[in-house]
Each structure stands twice: as C-alpha cells, then as structure tokens.
Amino acid sequence: MDIGELYRIIKDCNTYTTSYYGFFGSTNLDDEYFGFRSKPIEYYTPINGLISHKNTFMALSALESMYKLTNFGSAHNLNKIINDIINSQFLNPEFDNYGAFLPSKTRTLMTPEMQNEYIFFEHSYYAIRALEILADHLELGNLADVDFNKGALYGFILRNINSVLITAVKISENCS
C-alpha cells in the first residue's frame, strides 16, 4: 500500500468552512455524482451524513496509524477540530438528550427540537474517541483535561443506559 497515496486521499476528504471542520465520508466528491451514495459503504441519510464524528475519528485514527497526523496537523488546525467537536455537544437542558453529542457541528445550525432527534450514542462515542486522539497528539493531557461538559455527558449516559442494554439483549436474542 502506498502510504503517500492514502495520506493524500484522507487529506483530500478534509473540509473546512466558517461553520465547521471535518472529514467527508466519501472519497468520490465529483459534483456530478455527489448525491449518489452506494449502500452500505457510502449510504447517505440525515443521521449518517457526509460529515460526522465517526468520519473524523476514522480519518484521524488512520493518519495516526500511518504516522501522518503530524504532517496533517502542520497544514491544518487540529485545535479547530477539537473546538468543533466540543461545540457539537448538545447542551440544551430542556431536552432528554442533554449532554450527548450531535453527529457533527453542522447539526448545531438546526433548531433544538431537530438537534434532539439527531442524537444517538454512536455520535458521542466517536466524538470522544476523536477528542482522545487529538488530546494525545497535541499533548493536552488526558480526556479529563479537555474542556467539554463531562457531567452532562455522564448524565445522558446514565439516563439512557437502560434502553441501550435492552436493545443489546434484544439483538442478542435475535442472533441466537
């Protein structure tokens, strides 16, 4: 495998606008085919959008594994990625999903009601994993030293852990 070519592909999936920073979940961004997503590899839905914490984590993890995260960081602002992840935490206490992470900062442009509908455990998991990689790489300390509302996330997990366990049991029963 050509590490240089893999690095170029991941680097080219990076996107930055004034409202968000992230990685596209597609390597084929030809405008002619932009709306087409091949299922399941690049399937596009509002829940699993083109830009997400999962895509960011996977890109950062790959860059780290190829020893290219330093190269990428010298050309791109990794602190901006950290801030965008942190700013995607849903901190509206009027809603049940208070404390969790939206799929990406792009979803913060929606109404709180819509944001609440886009929250799943998976988004918070990948947001935290991406923060871990970045905090370690930038020598910011461990995750406890990163400035996001850990208490709110912990509360979200506690409020929802039963539904996650029930779902896991149902899946396990269906597999046997």
One-letter-per-residue 3-state SS of 31-93: HHHCCCCCCCCCCCCCCCCCECHHHHHHHHHHHHHCCCHHHHHHHCCHHHHHHHHHCCECCCC
- Could you tell me the pLDDT band of residue 19, with boundaries at 50, 70 and 90? low
- Residue 106 has a pLDDT of 65
Q: What is the pLDDT of residue 161?
A: 83
Q: Which domain holds residue 84?
A: 3-175
Number of structural domains (the chain) is 1
pTM of this structure = 0.74
So what's the pLDDT on residue 140?
A: 93
